[in-house]
């Protein structure tokens, strides 16, 4: 099926969201929306797991004399992931526009899975010293890049497959799936 996009005008002349010009059968529409929501849940589950393991990560990567300092440093690394979200949104937004939303979303899910696995395989501070927290920061930057790509891409994907009179409702499932991912990661 070839895709062509159009911006529609509301009766007052205001532009609405871009939608598929071609007709999509209901089964394919539903499958695309469910896949978008499930992918987003898994993406944010991976991102949230770090936050739930802060106490363990702090002991393995930031062994300070004061446990509060270790936990604060671990939360700072958690925050580093948020720095890359705008960059990921821009990069994967451009990629999705050029190569398709599905390919962009597959790439960000792969990046998140890879970086989450990498955190589990990183050497600890006891094994490699200061290199351990530096590697942890690098992997969290990749997770943030991925999360940013997922946020914008999944919203666009959901809205693009939604019926004209359900774009807001279907688009809201992006935020619902973020919450679902965080809850499952707990």
Mean pLDDT for each 10-residue chunk of the chain (186 residues)?
47 49 74 83 81 90 88 92 93 93 91 92 95 96 92 86 88 87 81
73, burial (CB in 10 Å: exposed 0-12, middle 13-18, buried 19+): middle
At residue 4, the 3 state secondary structure works out as: coil
Q: Provide φ and ψ at 3, rounded to 5°.
A: -105, 135
Q: pTM for the whole thing?
A: 0.78
Can you name the residues that pair with 20 across neighbouring β-strands? 5
> 72 CB contacts (<8 Å, ≥6 apart)?
none
What is the predicted pLDDT for the residue at 120?
Answer: 92
DSSP 8-state symbol, 186: -
Contact 125, 132 (CB under 8 A): yes
């Amino acid at each position: 099926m070839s895709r062509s996009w159009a911006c529609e005008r509301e009766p007052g002349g205001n532009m609405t969201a871009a939608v598929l010009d071609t007709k999509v059968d209901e089964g394919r529409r539903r499958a695309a929306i469910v896949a978008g929501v499930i992918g987003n849940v898994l993406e944010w589950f991976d991102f949230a797991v770090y936050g739930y393991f802060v106490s363990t990560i702090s002991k393995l990567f930031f062994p300070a004399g004061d446990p509060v300092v270790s936990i604060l440093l671990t939360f700072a690394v958690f925050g580093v992931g948020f720095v890359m979200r705008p960059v990921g949104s821009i990069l994967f937004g451009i990629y999705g526009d050029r190569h398709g939303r599905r390919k962009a979303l597959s790439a960000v899910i792969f990046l998140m899975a890879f970086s989450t696995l990498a955190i589990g395989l990183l050497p600890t501070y006891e094994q490699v010293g200061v290199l351990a927290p530096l590697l942890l920061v690098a992997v969290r930057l990749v997770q943030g890049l991925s999360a940013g790509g997922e946020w914008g891409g999944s919203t666009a994907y959901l809205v693009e497959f939604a019926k004209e009179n359900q774009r807001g409702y279907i688009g809201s499932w992006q935020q619902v799936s973020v919450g679902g991912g965080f809850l499952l990661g707990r």
